[in-house]
Structure 1
Amino acid sequence: MKQEVSAEIITIGDELLYGQVVDTNSAWMGEELGKIGIKVKQITSISDSPDAIEEALDIAKTRAQVILMTGGLGPTKDDLTKHTLTKYFKTHLQLHQPSLDNVVAIFKKYNRPLTVTNQQQAYLPATCTPILNTLGTAPGMLFEENEHIIVSMPGVPFEMKGMMTNDILPYLQAHFQLPEINHKVIQTIGLGESFLADTISDWEDNLPTNLKLAYLPNLSGVRLRLTGVYNGIDDLEDQMMREVGKLSDLIPEYIFGYGEISLEETVGMLLNGRNYTISTAESCTGGLIGHKLTSVPGSSMYYKGGIIAYDNYVKINELGVEQDILDKYGAVSGEVVRQMAEGVRRKMGTDVGIATSGIAGPGGGTPDKPVGTIWIAYSDATQTIAKKLNYNKSRLLNIEYTALQALNLIRQSLPGPVEE
């Protein structure tokens, strides 16, 4: 019989509570656990203190079968997790020879003397199942206590991920009879969360009972995560793909991709598929669009360069913006960004040009053009499109949203079919 298994993640370290280190481990572990059918019910961050560790464990065992702990396994005096767990499980430390061999090999590889402190990392609670750390010196520990599985891992992300991938996740899958679970992610842009929910409400209301939808808004739009649990009747993959197909037919103009693809990756694929090149002329975004485009591997196939035309002198002398147009309409105008997009396309010899000009803030606004007034433009051989944006956010958010809207304008405006 399939089991519903819940988990709690406990992250240990004063540096997390002080905000000196951002906890990325929990997000990654939660996602990986969800893929195998284990639901995270709680994420708890605690200090490097024996009392805090013991209390967190006691509470976690009341609500979760699987407890995953990260942090506090280093060689320094402030790393107390191993000693606390030894006391908690009423056991003693003993040498784990494979872990010692691993520590010796790592220090030999880097030609460094092995200290007594580092040797102590190979001493583990006698009642645990040691988890060899092939990427570092601190082993992991797995305890079985009645119906609970308790795992302690290093807080270093790549070490934790290695243990989870190679040891913990396979162990949990073998230990429990987990339900078949699947996720489909649909990436959207152009509709806020509430408007999107209203638009697809009928489709959502008619989902099969074993499928659930989650809305995950972020700067680039709203990620829709469709989660399915095998119901013993339908093929889960086919069932989910049918629903994704219905959604795609319902809001095709707002979907830019599926899975964990980014908007800039989608734009790159569209440009590559048409064998098009692109260049950028950026004022208020200061090169952010170029940065996003070039963050994608292989972007040299389509991105040829950009001009940061922050000053009007650059707009005139590098992009060919007419002085009369600037005088009449101002730098933040549809007329100017159109000429910027056309000018960079000519200068760089590309198929597409994209341009931005605006008032990001916090100063510089006027009654006619308040802070957050921004124009973007797209140009190719057949058309030039200008679009006005109005934001009332902080400077950095205004810039970020503008770059994303410019990428979306490219996606929406590219002509012609994709070349095979």
Structure 2
Amino acid sequence: MEKEISAEIITIGDELLYGQVIDTNSAWMGQELGKIGIKVKQITSISDNPDAICATLTQAISRAQVILITGGLGPTKDDLTKHTLARYFNTQLQLHQPSLDDVEAIFKRYNRPMLEVNRQQAFLPASCTPIRNALGTAPGMLFKEQGALIVSMPGVPFEMKQMMTDSILPRLQQHFQLPQIIHKVVQTIGIGESFLAEAIADWEDNLPPNLKLAYLPHLAGVRLRLTGMSDGNSDLETQLQLEVDKLTHLISEHIFAYGEVTLEEAIGQLLKDRNLTISTAESCTGGLVAHKLTSVPGSSAYFMGSVVAYSNGVKQAQLGVSAQTLETHGAVSEETVRAMAQGVRQLLNTDIGIATSGIAGPDGGTPEKPVGTIWIAYADAHQTIAKKLSYNKTRLLNIEYTVLQVLNLVRQSLPKRVEE
């Protein structure tokens, strides 16, 4: 089996430590490194301080074969990474003409004057291998030290990602003999992490030694990531698929997709596969269900429209909810939400109508209907299904959880419709 290659990620910038900027770079790099068989062992965020950069780099070189650094390469005085690395590797800055050509081309493209500080970005440590930045003015730098590869990249996410994809990842694959690693992701919803772990405990306990399972809970449910590392004795893809098939048999009712697929993408695929159209009638969610559905490319094939019926007047005039229903049962009720789902389906002439109505908070609740009381509904030509939700969360979380639940209701109800 190939030797395991480990990586460390160092992010530089006071704005990260102050919480003014969220570090999304590390998560993305970790995912991409994992795909090629390199495991991230540590992520460190440090300030724009030369001593901190040097000390952190020394520690990283002592325990990892790949060190990826982002941040501190801009044209301003607080961007110290390049000068610090030149000092650390005992070298001088020198002009790299191809990098200067790239910088000049960017300013010419946008018809803007280039300042001396921008020209200085083309001066790089003499001992580094320059890495072209196709989207910005700060080149990357590659160093070799004590058997490790150290790469410094800009902190701007789209610049870093392009540099990683075009240059860094291919270089790492060429430089190291990496093990074959394959990930299989199973997306679940409607079951908590602890209940899920209990349901699949025997299966997990009997996984082969070269396969590892990770539980990744998030708002929409729990992502199960099964990671296989080649042991040289079996077809890794076949081995992984066999285990995924076993897992599917155990929890099929909770699986909505395989791979990195969102719930709204999975719903969209189901609708396209069945040649069905859908519309939404939303009160408490204020159009967020429609937004989720239309965020999927190609959603115009199945999503026809939405009515945000926040007031009772709109519920009556546009969706046909009767005044008697609203007076007797209230806007937040099974009767009203069923009428909303049926009404929007008829109004927009779709196969399916879904609806939400509730008290998201923080006020508006009563003893009979406290904050977090929400009704959702699904309607098609054969059935109307309503479900009551009870949450005790913040307003935004109540809304977001409602969106997930109504989409999941669509997922659960579609097979019943097709079979009838």
Q: Return the TM-score normalized by structure 1.
A: 0.97
Any residues of structure 2 matched to 1:3-402 within 5 Å, and which? Answer: 3-402=3-402
Report SS of the residue matched to 1:83. helix
- Distance in 2 separating the partners of 1:139 and 1:292: 37
- Distance in 2 separating the partners of 1:210 and 1:418: 40
- Distance in 2 separating the partners of 1:199 and 1:362: 36
Report SS of the residue matched to 1:353. strand
Shift of 1:233: 0.7
- Distance in 1 separating the partners of 2:103 and 2:287: 46
Cα deviations across residues 82-115 of structure 1 (Å, max 9, x unaligned)?
A: 0000001111111112111211222222222232
Shift of 1:416: 6.4
Unpaired segments of 5 or more residues in structure 2? Answer: none
Q: Does the 8 A contact of 2:341 with 2:355 survive in 1?
A: yes
Report SS of the residue matched to 1:251. helix
- Distance in 2 separating the partners of 1:27 and 1:83: 26
Cα deviations across residues 241-288 of structure 1 (Å, max 9, x unaligned)?
A: 111111112111110101111111111111111111111111111111
- Partner letter of residue 223 of structure 1? R
- Distance in 1 separating the partners of 2:2 and 2:169: 17
- Distance in 2 separating the partners of 1:15 and 1:205: 43
- Partner letter of residue 131 of structure 2? I
Shift of 1:340: 0.8
Shift of 1:418: 7.5
Q: Does the 8 A contact of 2:187 with 2:255 survive in 1?
A: yes
Shift of 1:328: 2.1
- Distance in 2 separating the partners of 1:330 and 1:418: 33
- Partner letter of residue 268 of structure 2? G
My pick for the range that moved more, 123-132 or 326-335, is 326-335
Shift of 1:393: 0.7
Q: Does the 8 A contact of 1:270 with 1:418 survive in 2?
A: no
Report SS of the residue matched to 1:173. helix
Shift of 1:187: 0.6
- Partner letter of residue 354 of structure 2? I
- Partner letter of residue 291 of structure 2? H
Shift of 1:305: 0.9
- Partner letter of residue 337 of structure 2? V
- Partner letter of residue 343 of structure 1? G
My pick for the range that moved more, 373-382 or 131-140, is 131-140
- Distance in 2 separating the partners of 1:371 and 1:417: 33
Q: Return the TM-score normalized by structure 2.
A: 0.97
- Distance in 2 separating the partners of 1:367 and 1:109: 64
- Partner letter of residue 252 of structure 1? S
Using the aligned pairs only, state the percent identity.
73
Q: Does the 8 A contact of 1:7 with 1:66 survive in 2?
A: yes
- Distance in 1 separating the partners of 2:97 and 2:193: 54
Report SS of the residue matched to 2:138. coil
- Distance in 1 separating the partners of 2:263 and 2:9: 31
* 1:402/1:43 CA distance change after superposition, 3 Å: same
Q: Does the 8 A contact of 2:382 with 2:417 survive in 1?
A: no
Report SS of the residue matched to 2:31. helix
Q: Does the 8 A contact of 1:3 with 1:176 survive in 2?
A: no
- Distance in 2 separating the partners of 1:275 and 1:149: 52
Report SS of the residue matched to 2:203. helix
Report SS of the residue matched to 1:414. helix
Q: Aligned residues, how many? A: 419
